[in-house]
Amino acid sequence: MNLIILDRDGTINYDSDDFIKSPQEWIPIPGSIEAIARLNRAGYKVVVATNQSGVARGHFDMDVLNRIHNKMIDAVRDHGGEIDGIFFCPHGPDDGCKCRKPKPGLYQEIAKRLNTNLAGVYAVGDSKRDIEAARAGGAIPILVRTGKGDRTLAKPEPEFLEGVPVFDDLAAFTDSLLSEKIKV
């Protein structure tokens, strides 16, 4: 199965240290929605794996989260694409769950629900926890500079980035993948 796993905030849409708390605050990064549609046209299924601790922290509820996700889905559909699933962790950092990245629970759930192995599957994100979760879940981590990506690159512990391809944004990753400059 041709599958791509995407982080949401900082990869598909602009991120905020104050959380994306409403559909109005969800603003796509230029080129990201088109990139998802291009991946679909090239035969890739696209799923989203995202921490959403704003639910546990009381910044927004599940209804608002669903409306944010519906806005994202509609934006992708408006460009002829599809998001094949959204897997999210609503827990806080101290809840001890297995699904909060950097733990691999979301990736394990994706593999289980799609009945697939994640070996050879690219997982695109903008943070250290995205890279760690992808590795722990058996996927190939990709870092984008958008969102927290530049901050992640500036961290004093570069060993966790060893072997991780870095792209300016989701559109640049998609260009490279579809031009076969990187291979799954």
Catalytic residue among 7, 15, 130, 169: 7
Say if residues 13 and 28 touch (Cβ distance below 8 Å). Answer: yes
pLDDT at 92 over 90: yes
Arithmetic mean of pLDDT, 12-28: 97
The closest of 75, 112, 108 to 89, measured between CA atoms, is: 108
Cα–Cα distances in Å, from 72 out to 63, 67, 68, 106, 180?
14, 9, 6, 19, 27
Active site residue 61: no
Q: CA distances (Å), 64 to each of 12, 71, 85, 90, in order? A: 18, 11, 18, 12
For 125-136, the pLDDT digits (tens) are: 999 999 999 999
Instruction: Specify the CATH superfamily of domain 3-178.
Output: HAD superfamily/HAD-like (3.40.50.1000)
What 8-state DSSP symbol labels residue 132?
Answer: H
Cα separation, 88 vs 105, in Å, equals 10
CB 7, CB 50: distance < 8 Å: yes
**Per-residue pLDDT, 159:** 83
* pTM confidence score: 0.96
pLDDT in tens, 93-125: 999 999 999 999 999 999 999 999 999 999 999
Residue 170, H or E segment? helix 170-178
Burial of 99: CB neighbours in 10 Å, binned 0-12, 13-18, 19+:
buried
DSSP string across 3-38: EEEE-SBTTTB---TT---SGGG--BPTTHHHHHHH
- 3-class SS of residue 146: coil
Q: Is the pLDDT of residue 182 over 80?
A: no
Q: What phi-psi label fits residue 91: left (phi over 0), alpha (psi between -120 and 50 degrees) or beta?
A: beta
Among this protein's residues, is 7 annotated catalytic?
yes
CA torsion, ordered 27, 184, 149, 176, to nearest 10 deg = -70
What pLDDT, on the 0 to 100 scale, is given for residue 180?
A: 84
